[in-house]
Amino acid sequence: MRKWVSMTTASALAISAFTGAAQAQSNELIEAAKKEGQLTTIALPHDWCNYGEMIQTFKDKYGLQVNELNPDAGSGDEIEAIKANKGNTGPQAPDVIDVGLSFGPSAKAEGLLQPYKVETWDSIPDTAKDAEGYWYGDYYGVLAFQVNKDIIQEAPQDWEDLLKADYKNAVALAGDPRASNQAIQGVYAAGLSRAGGDAAKAAEAGLEFFSELNKAGNFVPVIGKAASVAQGSTPLLVRWDYNALADRDTLAGNPPIEVVVPKTGVVAGVYVQAISAYAPHPNAAKLWMEHLYSDEGQLIWLKGYCHPIRFNDLVKNGKVPQEMLDKLPPAEAYEAAVFPTLEEQNAGKEVITKQWDSVVGANVQ
């Protein structure tokens, strides 16, 4: 007699079988990585996104050595390190890289990366990963308002608020929008808000917005920094939220800092992870990725104020401790985060850098 299994039981059995297979695969990967004995990283400063703790927990958990190359290198340096060490299995060949978004597709096109999909792959947004697994978003920041509360009692809640007379001689960008990516993205974000989310119109709308801001006398044409916010020369600064939150902690209430994610035009700048096609320790590299994209790894990044790429998924499933959420702007503020494609970023940059002088006319220095 054929035995029928209820849907509930069948589902449980399927989940159990899947979990068992995943665990077996994981144990196999751990053993393979341990045989390699080492992971080589590059461009991971310990005070950036809490990488110090990330590296230490990996070493403690798996007993592998981590060879850290040039912590202060930039994305371009990481790519060059792969190219320069294609045939090298020694200590100067990086296994993994952490680079700006644009470097993922270009490195893939040059054949410098190998694909790998972590167990939590499905919870990484499709717009922030290569469909074939050659690169994948790891953490991001969003453009936010860093506000000196000693000078500005009522913080703006959205981009259009910056035009109010309350913010006369107060608003600055954290860079020159003719050259700085952070500043360019600030202009783009304001425009995306004004254009109702239409990416094709964001750059021109952003220039129009900053032209109005400048004419209103609210825009301060200097490159804003933590010091200028604290001193009051730029008491309202548009910058990446992780920098603003870190400044808040560093200043320790002198002056008090409020960090506000705008209600609309929430633009995210994402970094990506990838494994070198020439990695001397490919299994250690894959295990590192599993560590980064696990719930534990994602929360380690969040402790450093870098929003992990799986943030919305973690919040939805109650995985983020309340004390961690309490240090951040409201979680729902990040639900509207937009990850502009490379094409959108490049098109926006072209318009903003070339037309800033003629449309806005503010010489940022």
Q: What is the pLDDT of residues 319-335, one digit of tens each?
A: 999 999 998 888 888 88
Q: Which of 142, 135, 111 is closest to 121 using CA atoms?
A: 135
Tokens found for residue 272: 């990506």
pLDDT tens digit string along 281-294? 999 999 999 999 99
- Which pair of structure tokens corresponds to residue 196? 């109702």
Q: How confident is the model at residue 40 (pLDDT cuts 50, 70, 90)?
A: very high
> What is the rounded distance in angstroms from the CA atom of residue 291 to the CA atom of residue 303?
15
Checking if the pLDDT of 139 tops 80, the result is yes
Contacts from 153-157 at CB under 8 Å and sequence distance 24+?
Answer: 155/258, 155/260, 156/236, 156/260, 156/262, 157/260, 157/262, 157/263
User: What mean pLDDT do residues 121-149 have?
Assistant: 95
Mean pLDDT, the chain, rounded, equals 90
pLDDT at 149 over 80: yes
Q: What is the pLDDT of residue 18?
A: 38
The residue length of the chain stands at 365
pLDDT of residue 23: 55
- The tens digit of pLDDT for each residue in 160-187 reads 999 999 999 999 999 888 888 888 999 9
pLDDT at 9: 38
- Looking at residue 74, its pLDDT comes to 82
Burial-class residue 279 by CB neighbours within 10 Å (0-12, 13-18, 19+). Answer: buried
Q: How confident is the model at residue 339 (pLDDT cuts 50, 70, 90)?
A: confident
- Give the model confidence (pLDDT) of 18-31 as tens digits: 344 455 568 999 99
> Per residue in 210-268, pLDDT tens?
999 999 999 999 999 999 999 999 999 999 998 899 889 889 999 999 999 999 999 99
pLDDT attached to residue 182: 86
pTM: 0.75
Q: What is the DSSP string of 35-63?
A: HH-EEEEES--TTSTTHHHHHHHHHHHH-
Residue 357 CB contacts under 8 Å (≥ 6 apart), including other chains: 178, 363
**pLDDT, tens digit, for every residue of 80-100?**
999 999 989 999 999 999 998
Domains and CATH numbers, the chain: 28-140+269-325 (3.40.190.10), 141-267+332-359 (3.40.190.10)
